[in-house]
A and B are shown apart, each in its own frame.
Chain A
């Protein structure tokens, strides 16, 4: 799929994210918008999946370790045909297939339940180990949050992935620089994050997480890297695409009101990206 097609899809996903969170009056717009472009490339260009058979055993797997960005994943899955886009507006509502944080038992297309930070990378390692054991060539993708890597379990899993040479595993760090209480740098620095992963035995690629060509190339480089897992450190903008949300820590977990929703959607509809 070419860059312009992907950009169009990403824009539609962002509009859905805003509408879903506004309708729910709850959710995490900032971190959903920052990883939308990455999700778009994965689900529309790179991952080997069958939306009509979500549990196909040879499929590529995906784990949203930063589970609070679920609206972006749900909007992506719906756009890809796992379930109706109409269902998106049921986010967080009682009885919905769309829980605030991903629940693999509720939503078609989810490969893992997440939400408590730090746990998704371990699950992705388990999926990658199973792939090696069964000599299958599926790949496993996992998106991590930047604040999330403050969890110790991430580094336990980072060691496991390198020790077992899980070159079928690609992690993508959604590095938007902000977490609930402020900038990573103020709360607790994660830097130098590239050197940390290198020291843990990973192949590290640094990209602009909103440049579709760079995202694609990085995923391809990860695929051709043998003997070690790859992490793509994607510099992103929290709230990307909505001017008043961009780089604003306050939009981590706040829903837009109706006026803000309209403004955000109008902006996204007008935007080229």
Chain B
């Protein structure tokens, strides 16, 4: 089974809206794509389309939050975090308002829309803001639980979601814990720390490596801030070699966060897989993942490239 995390977001919002009457949802004319339209259908009074004005949407969300509402503000990741960066910083992050920014269409797997619509800097932008929590779920069930957890957490949260369908890794028995990474596979030879859509790709890589006699640990680092320092150090100690994998620039995202922790606490070799300081382009998600070296084979090759 597979589903896009944005699909799971739409459903989770409806579930959350039933449980918590303070939840309100804002969108900037992309509700059919971000799936907030599901919430609008269920609770029209608590849905506000702010039109194509992301900066105003973030400020409006901030104002709603001062009155006890729990606003989820959605757009594509590039517009939510890029266009409205300073509004998020000054009107949401600084006053620590209870706004959830759930942005879809992150990364290059937006596909055909091309570079202008492919956000590869959003994790970097959001994790630099004090008070901000950053979550990048790997599949539908994790998205569902992350959305519920974000609503429970008091303060600003950024949730990074994708357009493309991704395989289901988790079932209903999974327990998402904010700020705690998940070890999905254990192996002593190398640790692959992945986030978002790269988690299922890392698992494929681990299967392939196993065939070749290399046993990899795979960590699902769904929360990028606050990062699970303890877990990163633990797997580095166990394996001595770390690879990070993210559908984001290698500058400022998961790879950077992992290097920050390890360089301070337990220096080991780290190789970062991600968008290598370049813009995307139009194409199918599959073509783009291949071109930008984000396939399981790329992970296998990088793992084998360690001395």
Within 8 A of A (CB), among B101-128: none
The segment from B52-60, B140-148, B233-241, B297-305 found at the interface with A is B52-60
Query: Contact: B90 with A129, CB < 8 Å?
Result: no
| Number of residue pairs A-B, CB distance < 8 angstroms | 108
Query: Contact: A122 with B62, CB < 8 Å?
Result: yes
Query: Contact: B90 with A157, CB < 8 Å?
Result: no
Q: Does A262 reach chain B (CB closer than 8 Å)?
A: no
Report Cα–Cα, A131/B67, bound state, in Å: 8
Chain A residues near B56 (CB, 8 Å)?
Answer: 122, 125, 153, 156-157, 159-160
Mark each residue of chain B from 59 to 95: 1 if its CB lies under 8 Å from any CB of chain A, else 0.
1111111111101000000000000001100110011
Report Cα–Cα, A164/B53, bound state, in Å: 15
Within 8 A of B (CB), among A117-151: 118-131, 133-134
Q: Does B208 reach chain A (CB closer than 8 Å)?
A: no
Query: Contact: B55 with A127, CB < 8 Å?
Result: no
Q: Does B229 reach chain A (CB closer than 8 Å)?
A: no
Among B60, B90, B94, B95, residue most surrounded by chain A Cβ atoms (within 10 Å): B60
The segment from A12-20, A108-116, A242-250 found at the interface with B is A108-116
Q: What size tier do the contact residues of chain A reach?
A: 35 or more
Among A133, A134, A163, residue most surrounded by chain B Cβ atoms (within 10 Å): A133
Q: Does A190 reach chain B (CB closer than 8 Å)?
A: no
A-B contact pairs, 8 of them (CB 8 A): A111-B66, A113-B95, A123-B60, A126-B60, A128-B63, A157-B59, A160-B51, A160-B60
Report Cα–Cα, A124/B53, bound state, in Å: 16
Q: Does B46 reach chain A (CB closer than 8 Å)?
A: yes
A114 CB → nearest B CB, Å: 8
Interface of A with B (CB < 8 Å)? 57, 61, 63, 103-105, 111-113, 115-116, 118-131, 133-134, 152-153, 156-157, 159-160, 163-164
Interface of B with A (CB < 8 Å)? 24, 45-46, 48, 50-51, 53, 55-69, 71, 86-87, 90-91, 94-96
Query: Contact: A126 with B51, CB < 8 Å?
Result: no
B219 CB → nearest A CB, Å: 35
Chain A residues near B51 (CB, 8 Å)?
Answer: 156, 159-160, 163
The 7 closest A-B pairs by CB, nearest first: A126-B63, A122-B59, A130-B67, A156-B56, A156-B53, A123-B63, A113-B95
Query: Contact: A125 with B59, CB < 8 Å?
Result: yes
Query: Contact: B24 with A153, CB < 8 Å?
Result: no
Query: Contact: A160 with B94, CB < 8 Å?
Result: no
Chain A residues near B91 (CB, 8 Å)?
Answer: 112-113, 116, 119, 122-123
Report Cα–Cα, A129/B66, bound state, in Å: 11
Chain B residues near A63 (CB, 8 Å)?
Answer: 63
Query: Contact: B95 with A112, CB < 8 Å?
Result: yes
Q: Which residue of B lies closest to A151 (CB)?
A: B55
Report Cα–Cα, A36/B67, bound state, in Å: 26
Known: A113-B91, A133-B24. A126 touches B53 (CB 8 A): no
Query: Contact: A113 with B67, CB < 8 Å?
Result: no
Among B45, B63, B65, B95, point to the contact of A122 (Cβ < 8 A).
B63
Report Cα–Cα, A113/B87, bound state, in Å: 11
Query: Contact: A113 with B94, CB < 8 Å?
Result: yes
Report Cα–Cα, A57/B55, bound state, in Å: 26
Report Cα–Cα, A157/B60, bound state, in Å: 8
Chain B residues near A160 (CB, 8 Å)?
Answer: 50-51, 53, 56, 60
Query: Contact: A113 with B68, CB < 8 Å?
Result: no
Query: Contact: A125 with B63, CB < 8 Å?
Result: yes
Among B59, B65, B66, B67, point to the contact of A153 (Cβ < 8 A).
B59
Chain A residues near B64 (CB, 8 Å)?
Answer: 126-127, 129-130
Among B46, B61, B94, B96, point to the contact of A126 (Cβ < 8 A).
B61
Query: Contact: A126 with B65, CB < 8 Å?
Result: yes
Among B60, B90, B96, point to the contact of A125 (Cβ < 8 A).
B60
Chain B residues near A105 (CB, 8 Å)?
Answer: 95-96
Q: Which residue of A lies closest to B52 (CB)?
A: A156
B82 CB → nearest A CB, Å: 15
Report Cα–Cα, A211/B57, bound state, in Å: 35
